[in-house]
Structure 1
Amino acid sequence: MTVKNLYAYTLQPVAYEVSEEEQRNAQLVLSRSNYKIGKKAWLIMGAIIALAVLGIIFIKNYSTIFCWVAIVAVAIYLLVRTFGIEWYVKRKLKEVPVQEIKGIRLGVQPHGISMQQQMGMQTGNMTVGWKDIYEWYNTPEFILVNFKIKGQQGAYILPKRLDSKNFPFSTIRKHLTEVVGAPKAV
């Protein structure tokens, strides 16, 4: 048995540095979840297309231009929702400065995620309890946790590469599932 199997928490906090690229990727992934096409929109588009095709087939001696316009309108809507919004979001994300994350060390403990940060000659400590986390996302590249402590909101982007540095993602997932529930869909 390895030490990782015996003790599911961090003995020493690990360096927590998230690059600008990782932060932008996390922002983009989360923004994609906000502009997914919902079930209701798909049903409406399906009904419009079905009625337009039926109109083209069954209407005789009348202009079917409104049916073709409806089909084109649905196609334009899909193109804008699929490509236009993502292009716009990427452009806007580049305008927002990204905060440099360096000099922070994170650890996983039975009571939560602990953070140490060097501030001048002193070391500041903070712990985000599992109960303080109100939602989390699990993606192939990272885990994102949103928390609220004393009225202040915060978030951690935990890149999966930290798992190889004795930062136990399996323990984090276990605690988050028990306390917060299932991860939100991205």
Structure 2
Amino acid sequence: MSSKSVLEHFTVPDDFQNGNTFKGKCMHCGTLISGSYKVTSNFVTHMKRKHRDLYILHSDQCLAVVKDKLSQVPTSSEPPCDQNSPPCKRAKNDDLFSFMPAPSVERKRNPSGISVSSEMDDYLSDNCIDMSKDPLLYWHSNCQRLPRLAKLAVQYLAIPATSAPVERLFSTAGKTFRPERCRLADGTFEKLMMVKCNGKMLK
């Protein structure tokens, strides 16, 4: 909605002088809105908030008029640039991605010659190993047959790095080497810790 068309919905006082601020009365709700012919933002805001249907309808009509005018313009190809005239400007959207490298159509081939789905089917068709066996030994013996899955197994079946055993060792040492036993020799303390931590293996 243009500044001129929005004023069609407001009444202008008779003693209004061009360039001055006036209060226009809305023809639809009677609200007084301050503004001028140059500054019509208050009138447009009022139409958007209070009479949105009329605002959209008027905007659609303006858009239809613009489309009608554009449809009447003959579409012709751009004339070739004259040799004596300055060079034609290149459109902004021409060769937009010229700075980017061309996508590679070639894909990396599987060095083993086995597809991923075939490797997965081969793994799922194997029998399950016993619970007492080490799964890393299975993957070590089948790393040539299942190269991709073997890499994943080494990554996810490895022992996680944790400080829990070390913290548990310090806790046990604190219970053994108390202030009442501060005269323990280093060798005696080391033997006590060895028996305490590895007592299950000695049984």
Note whether the superposition's TM-score is higher than 0.5.
no
Return the structure number with greater strand share.
1
TM-score normalised according to structure 2 size: 0.21
TM-score (norm 1): 0.22
